[in-house]
Amino acid sequence: MSSIPTETVTPGKASLFYDPKIRGYVYQIALLAVVAFLIWSAASNAIENLRAQKIASGFGFWHNAAGFDVNQKLIPFSASGGSTYGEAFLVGLLNTLLVAALGIVLATIIGFVVGVARLSNNWIVAKLAMIYVEVIRNIPLLLQLFFWYNAVLKPLPDARNSIALPGSIYLNNRGIILPSPQFAPGFEAVAIAFLIGVVAAIAFFIWARGQQAKTGRQYHNGWVALLLIVGLPLAVFFAVGHPLSFDYPQQGRFNLTGGMQIFPEFVALLIGLSTYTGGFIAEVVRAGILAVSKGQSEAAHALGLRSGPTLKLVVIPQAMRVIIPPLTSQYLNLTKNSSLAVAIGYPDLVQVFTGTVLNQTGQAVEVVAITMAVYLTISLVTSFFMNMYNKRMALVER
Amino acid sequence: MTDATLENAPYAYVRKETLQQEPAPLSVAGPWAWIRTNLFSSPLNTILTLLCLYLVVDAVPGLIRFYFLDAVWTGEHRDACLADKVGRPVGACWAYIADRFQYFIYGSYPVSERWRVNIVFAMFALGVIWLLWNQAPLKKIGVFFFFVILPASAFILLLGGARAEGFLRFLILLSFALAVLYLVLSFVPSLARFWIGEGQLTVEQEMPAWQRFYRPKRLILIAVVVFGLLAVLADRVGLPRVDTGLWGGMMVTFLISAVGIVFSLPLGVLLALGRRSRLPAIQLLSVIFIEFVRGVPLITVLFMANTMLPLFVPQEYSPDRLLRPLIGVALFAAAYMAEVVRGGLQAIPKGQYEGAMSLGLGYWQMMRLIILPQALRIVIPGIVNTFIGLFKDTTLVTIVGIFDFLRTIEATLVDPTWATPTTRTTGYAFAAIFYFLCCWGMSRYSVAVEKRLAAGQKR
């Protein structure tokens, strides 16, 4: 179907039949005609089939009441409260974003630790890291999710015999029960202080960098940042008088009451995604570090830099240039892989929307199109920023 | 100071002869030194080593005890694997795997027809070895076998029934017609002038008649032989129809991955060429397809294939339930394959393109004879890696209700015949070993190819 033009350069005048320009137009028009025909026939068939099956089309279902409940939700949602399919979509989307965001953080930590461990001069650490990477990367994610969910979390004891961990944390087959924080009025001040701290820390970094470029003097950036980001909110926290208490779960006769429940589906998905993607990130990190030639660190040592500054000023900046593009694609993979949630029943976008809503409304075209549009938007936005970053970071060559 | 001056030195305390080399001190050679430098070189390393040793000592004996020492290897049903029935702690229940092994391979494919699956397995193995083994002869015929003969025969053998036999009859007719055509052409070369270039024709005319146009003849011959054998089989033994609903197990896993590779590779090459085309419409369509597919999760593509594909075609042509995910997987893999192939195309120096054009080759001749052979060779590791991803992703068809290998494991886990506390762990371990061996083997292969290719680059 995708006919490709001749790239031959025809000298002088030739017959129209051999003119590459005209051939090119003919090929393109033919291809466009085929694609247009395919789309037209698919659309007309779809309309006819939908009419035959008496399925409505259009996005009218968005405001219809959804007759189902979701266990994990970040916004209020209930069948009895008359929540709509549109709200179900939001619930699913937020759950996807939640597990993806936490997964990215955990996977990055695992990946960097394991990736550095693989290059360690400690034989046993390097070998263990290698075994981890090989095993994790060569087993399908779905099987790993089944393992975490069905073989690790489900066989935990029931609520009556919960395993108690230090800090009033309970573990049972309904998930993890944590003390839930109760925010008293006045806590907003702490949050605002935290934001101010972050902004101030960034401002200080910029100022310190300018000072260093001008005078060569270095400041204790890390300590200042710690003071601003952690110290300031803490000070405000005590100043307004502990606006935070915890609701501890109580072990009752049959059940646990109070506290905050983290569902086993979420835990299994989070563990599975972050360990799996962590294995891939480890390889990315290893490749990035190996990509910095040894001469770079040797030259830094020759200039008199100790190993700490060498790592910070010479090796890591160059390694990051190699690491970041594949790292971003791993983040995207993790986000896309979070759709496997449907297999273990975590209510993510695919499970709630492409699963339940599609089954209830039968409007496959609209539902699948919306779901794909969400993932596509995430991917395209990320690659847009990625390209911008690459342009900034690309080596400027002569 | 050089030796010469030492020899001539007038001082009695200057040594005249060279000393024997002493053995390296124990602190830098031997096992003890190895342990010191590799395990205990610094306080941090010592702590890490002890931590890792503790981890290994803690985990490994338990795993060995569970999966080997305490494991049950033979038995008829669940009683063999229940601790209170056996009277000892019970580890992995391998008896369950042994009992269900056939099911894991063939799914519910009728027992009397399983030889057909075996033939397809054998042909698949033959094709894979033919293509992947570097020294294998007649690579071009191998490609034809893997990408044309194998899919057709697999379809006929696995499905069977009237439709497959009709298809077989058509294939045999086609190959015979081509055979006759080429025979005539070989003996009457002037007829071939229509589609063989003048220059090539003069070369071919020099040869004896039976050698002219001899490449297509071999392809036709192998087609006639294979399809003829199939026809004999269908005639003597009969190939009753086996519905795709009965297919399952490793057979389906291999089927999906094979279909994925057989269709995604050619499609991916076309898409990669399209993406590098100078014609804006073709380039745009290729880019849209590739970026769209790579931007969405496979599971949504499968949902789309499962729910939307039947809507897009007239009711009477509604695709089979197994065919839908196959189409989805093939299209999905094609987009990834296209990016891998594009990498190869970009790595070919411009001089190769210009050289080909200066010889007067057209676009397709240039691609077929000069560019693609080089480009595909350097991206073999990339293709294998994409294929490993595809192989792991076949498990996702479980979600749209296809009985692949992982689904057969899950299905046996709810079966009360083998419901024991350790069945699940055993089943998952078996599945993990299966996938690990397949994927790890492939990645070893791709590393080996990479090394071989790198050796060619060394000077």
CA A352, distance to chain mean position in Å, is 18
**Which residues of A are less than 8 Å from B314 in CB distance?**
45, 48-49
Look at A31 and B311 and tell me if their CB atoms are within 8 Å.
Answer: no
pLDDT of residue A212: 85
Q: Residue B274 is part of a domain; what is its CATH number?
A: 1.10.3720.10
User: What is the amino acid identity at position A205?
Assistant: F
CA distance A85 to A66: 5
Q: What are the extents of the domains in chain A?
A: 16-51, 85-179+248-393
Contacting residues of A for B410, CB less than 8 Å apart: 146
Residue numbers in A near B425 (CB within 8 A): 151
* pLDDT over threshold 90, residue B360: no
Measure A147 CA to nearest chain B CA, in Å: 7
For residues A83-99, give the mean pLDDT. Answer: 90
Per the CB < 8 Å rule, is A4 touching B439? Answer: no
Instruction: Using CA coordinates, name the residue in chain A closest to B51.
Output: A125
Residues B208 and B125 in one domain: yes
pLDDT at B451: 86
* Phi, psi angles (nearest 5°) of residue B277: -70, 155
Contact assignment for B392 to A354 by CB distance below 8 Å: no
C-alpha to C-alpha distance for A286 and A115, rounded to whole angstroms: 5
Chosen for mutation from B53, B66, B303 (greatest number of chain A CBs closer than 10 Å) is: B303
Sort out which chain A residues have CB atoms less than 8 A from B52's CB and list them.
Answer: 124-125, 128
Top residue of A368, A370, A386 to mutate, by most chain B CBs within 10 Å, is A368
> Angle CA(A56)–CA(A77)–CA(A177) in degrees, nearest 5?
140
A343 touches chain B (CB under 8 A): yes
Mean pLDDT in residue range B378-387 = 89
* Contact status, residue A170 vs residue A162, Cβ threshold 8 Å: yes
Residues B150 and B285 in one domain: no
User: Would you state the pLDDT for residue A46?
Assistant: 86
Flag whether pLDDT at B212 surpasses 70. no
> Which stretches of B44-167 are assigned E, i.e. beta strand?
none
Tokens (6 digits) for A107? 């996977």
State the average pLDDT over residues A5-24: 66
Tell how far CA B450 is from the center of its chain: 16
Residue B324, domain extent: 252-402
In this structure, the answer to whether residues B299 and B278 fall within a common structural domain is: yes
The label of the residue with tokens 């399919």 reads A85
At residue B139, the pLDDT reads: 83
Interface test with B, best of A3, A4, A121 (most B CBs within 10 A): A4
Token digits of residue B318: 């509604």
Question: H or E element: which one contains B316?
Answer: none
Domain boundary among B17, B42, B69: B69
Please indicate whether, in this complex, the C-beta atoms of A151 and B357 are within 8 angstroms of each other: no
In a domain, B429, yes or no: no
Check whether residue B155 and residue B228 sit in a common domain.
yes
Task: Evaluate whether residue B92 is within a structural domain.
Answer: no
Is A49 in CB contact (< 8 Å) with chain B?
yes
pLDDT at A39: 92
- The pLDDT, as a whole number, for residue B455 is 73
% of chain B exceeding 90 in pLDDT? 39
Rounded Cα–Cα distance for residues A354 and A369 (Å): 10
Identify which has the larger pLDDT, B317 or A2.
B317
- Please answer yes or no on whether A368 and B364 come within 8 Å at the CB atom: no
Residue A15 predicted with pLDDT over 90: no
Identify the CATH homologous superfamily for domain A85-179+248-393.
Answer: MetI-like (1.10.3720.10)
Q: Clarify whether residues B213 and B264 are in a common domain.
A: no
Mutate to test the interface with A, among B58, B296, B332, B424 (most CBs of A within 10 A): B296
Burial of residue A204, with CB atoms counted within 10 A of its CB: 0-12 exposed, 13-18 middle, 19 or more buried: middle
Confidence of residue A1 (pLDDT cuts 50, 70, 90): very low
* Helix or strand holding residue B161 (H, E): helix B161-187
Instruction: State residue A7's pLDDT score.
Output: 54
* A contacts of B274 (beta carbons < 8 Å): 2, 4
Tell me what pLDDT residue A221 has.
80
Q: What whole-number percentage of chain B has pLDDT above 70?
A: 92
In a domain, B344, yes or no: yes
Question: What is the average pLDDT across B9-31?
Answer: 80
Largest Cα separation within chain A, whole Å, is 95
- Write out chain B residues lying below 8 Å of A49, CB-based: 310-311, 314-315
* Residue that the structure tokens 């060394």 belong to: B458
Q: What token pair was written down for B291?
A: 């970026």
Q: Do B395 and A9 touch (CB under 8 A)?
A: no
Contacts of A150 in chain B (CB under 8 A): 424, 428
- Is there a domain that residue B309 lies in? yes
| Closest CA relative to residue B144, chosen from B165, B157, B130 | B130
Query: Which one of B10, B44, B69 terminates a domain?
Result: B69
Answer whether A368 sits within 8 Å of B395, measured CB to CB: no
Amino acid A374: pLDDT: 94
Q: Which of B215, B213, B210, B211 is nearest to B201 (CA)?
A: B213
User: What is the per-residue pLDDT across A135-147, written as a single tens digit (0 to 9) for each?
Assistant: 999 999 999 999 9
Mean predicted lDDT score pLDDT of chain B: 86
Q: Of B190, B295, B299, which Cα lies nearest the Cα of A351?
A: B299
d(C-alpha A147, C-alpha A272), whole Å: 9
Give residues with Cβ within 8 angstroms of B363, minimum separation 6.
Answer: A4, A5, A6, A7, A8
What are A251-291's pLDDT values in tens digits?
A: 776 677 777 888 999 999 999 999 999 999 999 999 998 88
Mean pLDDT of A48-54: 83
* Domain assignment present for B319: yes
Spatial distance between the Cα atoms of B136 and A23, rounded to a whole number of angstroms:
40
Helices A316-337 and A264-291 cross at an angle (nearest 10°) of 150
The DSSP line for B223-290 is HHHHHHHHHHHHHHT------GGGB-BHHHHHHHHHHHHHHHHHHHHHHHHHHT-S-HHHHHHHHHHH
The pLDDT tens digits for A222-247 are 888 888 888 888 888 888 877 777 87
- Work out the average pLDDT over B38-48: 85
Cβ contact, residue pair A142, B280, below 8 Å: no
* B338 pLDDT above the threshold of 50: yes
CB spacing of B282 vs A121 below 8 angstroms: no
Contact A49 B285 (CB under 8 A): no
Q: Say whether pLDDT at A371 is over 80.
A: yes
The minimal CB distance from A45 to the residues B285, B314, B431 is found for B314
* Residues B229, B348 within the same domain: no
Percent residues over pLDDT 70 in chain A: 94
Q: Which amino acid is at A392?
A: R
Is there a contact between B363 and A7 if contact means CB atoms under 8 Å apart? Answer: yes
- Most A CBs within 10 Å, among B34, B37, B52, to test the A interface: B52
Q: Is A326 on the interface with B (CB under 8 A)?
A: no
| Number of domains comprising chain B | 3
| Contacts with B355 from chain A: Cβ below 8 Å | none
Residue A324: per-residue pLDDT: 87
Question: What is the average per-residue pLDDT within B238-250?
Answer: 89
Q: Is the dihedral of CA B177, B183, B188, B192 positive or negative?
A: positive
Q: Which residues of A touch B395 (CB under 8 A)?
A: 140, 142-143
- Together in a domain, B257 and B398: yes
Closest Cα of chain A to B290: distance in Å? 12
The pLDDT score that the predictor gives to residue B192 is 65
What are the tens digits of pLDDT across the range A160-206? 778 888 877 888 888 888 888 887 777 888 888 889 999 999 999 89
> What integer is the mean pLDDT of A336-351?
92
- Are both B286 and B357 inside the same structural domain? yes
Are B443 and A138 within 8 A, CB to CB? Answer: yes
Model confidence at B1, in pLDDT bands (50, 70, 90)?
very low
Q: What is the mean pLDDT of residues A354-380?
A: 89
Residue A154 pLDDT: 86
Whether B441 is in a domain gets the answer: no
Flag whether residue A307 sits within 8 Å of chain B, measured between CB atoms. Answer: no
pLDDT at B4 over 60: no
> Which residue in A24, A138, A354 is closest to B303 by CB distance?
A354
pLDDT reported for residue B69: 86
CB contact under 8 A, B285 and A35: yes
Chain B contact for A119, CB < 8 A?
Answer: no
pLDDT-derived band at A34 (thresholds 50, 70, 90) equals very high
pLDDT at B292 over 90: yes
Find the CB nearest B299 among A4, A35, A339.
A339
Q: Give me the mean pLDDT over the B244-249 stretch.
A: 90
Cβ–Cβ below 8 Å for A372 and B300: yes
Say which residue, A219 or A102, is predicted with more confidence.
A102
Mean pLDDT of chain A, nearest integer: 85
Compute the distance between CA of residue B37 and CA of residue B184 in angstroms, rounded to an integer.
76
Q: Is the pLDDT of residue B28 over 90?
A: no
> Is A49 in Cβ contact with B398 (below 8 Å)?
no
Name which residue leads in pLDDT, B124 or B194.
B124
Res. B459: pLDDT tops 60: no
A171: phi then psi, degrees, rounded to nearest 5:
-125, 120
Contact A121 B41 (CB under 8 A): yes
Encode pLDDT of B76-106 as tens digits. 888 888 888 888 888 888 989 999 999 999 9
- Residues B232 and B262 grouped into a single domain: no
E strands present in A190-329: 244-247, 250-251, 256-257, 260-262
- Residue B281 to residue A32, Cβ atoms within 8 A: yes
